[in-house]
Chains A and B, each alone.
Chain A
């Protein structure tokens, strides 16, 4: 089977973040970049599928030079080769539509591809769209929010998955090739060990420049890559301080409430909710 995973590098949202001087983005100074966590689940699922059915796993990303680190991590996890569409302009906000066209074009046509995995969203921009937009560009079926791949039938070119929907779940069947977007909890991603990262450096990684992209055939202009050509622009961005009342009732020793303090704390909390917050 030929399995493709679209991955991206993202800002570590657990790290400290502050607004940059331009006022419309997060300060890149000292920023920590990681493989998008949901893409780790996607890579893991791809490798497991390869281990079960044979074949190869190809990673594709569009991003600035630093994004090659994410590819290296994926290769160290067990992917076979990688393609990096590289340009510094891809480090700015780029429309999801443009990203999906760019990365889909790298596959050319889907002939020969069986399965495609993407993350459900990236944790910094959280646009929640590139994955299934790639499916639209390629003209294939997509399955979003797949919690479990139930059965892959390479010979019949069919796939059965369980997918979460509002208020329940469905099991669905599609013909291959198909694209799956991965939430967390689908699997436990393996760790990219240091020796494996060393070995990964010898795996094939192809770099594609934007100069090599035939924008005419994608129906977009090259100017569409980058802030000025974006259909949606961020005009301002804030990282609000948490503004909460912080009335935390603790025990007399500054830890948990004990003994009589317990019933007293319950009375106090209810009073606060009624008279102060006015929510009951």
Chain B
């Protein structure tokens, strides 16, 4: 086992590196010791390596292969397994994105490693074992867990927005790897990919999130959520009930099934506050809710709130916010 700490870069559909990658690189440098290195996997991604060096990566292992496209997990499983087997890093980290959930567990199986998903804290024991904190039980419990240090790579994914990103120049030595990925490794054939361009920040990365629930009552009314989000520079989210009712697309769902977010400010509009929704936003720093039911469970889980009808409260609230933001 080497002493290298690897951070696998998460790439967006537009080819950019996700912020969480820089957060994890920064925290790894602060907390884990050892030589912090990055892993860059994708198709046509090589020229991004220098960005990773800017966050302290000593080495950057690059696999640039046309089979690593379209968020197809097959090639990524092979590539990362091969790299881990060849270099035996002590720790392998990545952001906890939907894509990471789609391939990292298979990598852990492939190399016989323990894996902790969606960690909110990382550190090392004195004898060099990874120690993490993560939520469980629909985010109602938080546990501290330690790897047993059996010599296999210790693998973990980290929840976006858990750590501060902090630039720092690393040696950034690029190590090009082949990993032997061939067409035969690709079992999944992508027929069509639909990604939407949005001017709003991404849910998992946003500092502020405005979400709407079933109480919005229509797709059109969801414009209230988008307007408030845009005013605050926030991402827009939703509950499952709102998604199910067709008021907004699935990728806005926040919660146990949907995305886990931890913004500084979470505004919940006409959301009752189910265990499953709370599971995805309970770690937000400040929670604000607007609900017309004084008994709505969300109030007991909020910092601030207005008990009122959203259609009456949002217009004056928007005006007041505009004033406050322009001051």
Q: Which residues of A line the B interface, CB within 8 A?
A: 11, 13-14, 17, 19, 24, 26, 38, 95-97, 100, 120, 123-133, 135-137, 140-145, 147, 160, 164-175, 178, 183-185, 219, 230-240, 242, 244-251, 254-258, 262-263, 265-267, 269-270, 272-274, 277, 279-280
Contacts and interface: CB of A to CB of B under 8 A. Distances in A.
Given A128-B101, A244-B301, A13 B251 contact: no
Contact of A231 (B113, B305, B306, B324): B113
17 contacts: A95-B114, A96-B108, A96-B115, A97-B108, A124-B136, A136-B109, A144-B101, A165-B102, A166-B202, A167-B202, A169-B193, A174-B189, A232-B115, A248-B307, A250-B307, A269-B304, A272-B304
B18 to A, nearest CB: 9
Interface stretch (B68-76, B83-91, B222-230): B68-76
B162 interface: no
Nearest to A166: B98
A181 to B, nearest CB: 9
B294 A254 contact: yes
B300 A246 contact: yes
A166 B145 contact: no
Contact of B308 (A129, A167, A265, A277): A265
A33 to B, nearest CB: 13
Contacts of B118: 126, 128
B82 to A, nearest CB: 14
Contacts of B191: 160, 170-173
A240 to B, nearest CB: 6
B43 to A, nearest CB: 15
A255 B288 CA distance: 17
B170 to A, nearest CB: 26
Nearest to A173: B189
Interface stretch (B28-36, B172-180, B314-322): B314-322
Contacts of B184: none
Nearest to B307: A250
B278 to A, nearest CB: 9
Interface string B106-148: 1011101111111000000000000100111110111111111
Interface string B224-265: 000000001000000010011000001100001100000011
B264 A279 contact: yes
A263 B144 contact: no
A168 B325 contact: no
Interface string B188-201: 11111111101000
Given A135-B106, A234-B143, A165 B313 contact: no
A273 B105 CA distance: 40
Given A167-B202, A235-B146, A279-B265, A174 B188 contact: yes
Q: Which secondary structure characterizes the binding site on chain B? A: mixed
Contact of A129 (B115, B146, B286): B115
Nearest to A248: B305
Nearest to A238: B142
Given A170-B193, A234-B144, A239-B141, A256 B307 contact: yes
B303 A123 contact: no
Contact of B316 (A239, A242, A250, A262): A262
A262 B94 CA distance: 46
B292 A125 contact: no
B26 interface: no
Nearest to B107: A136
Contacts of A178: 187
A238 B141 contact: yes
A168 B193 contact: yes
A31 to B, nearest CB: 11
Given A13-B138, A279-B264, 4 more contacts: A96-B115, A147-B250, A174-B188, A237-B143
Contacts of A95: 114
Contacts of B189: 172-174
Given A170-B194, A280-B324, A244 B313 contact: no
Nearest to B232: A280
B316 A266 contact: yes
Contacts of B275: 13-14
Nearest to A251: B307
A250 B99 CA distance: 42
A17 B190 CA distance: 43
Contacts of A272: 304
B150 interface: yes
Contacts of B135: 126
A219 to B, nearest CB: 8
B303 A246 contact: yes
Given A170-B194, A231-B114, A142 B73 contact: yes
B148 A123 contact: no
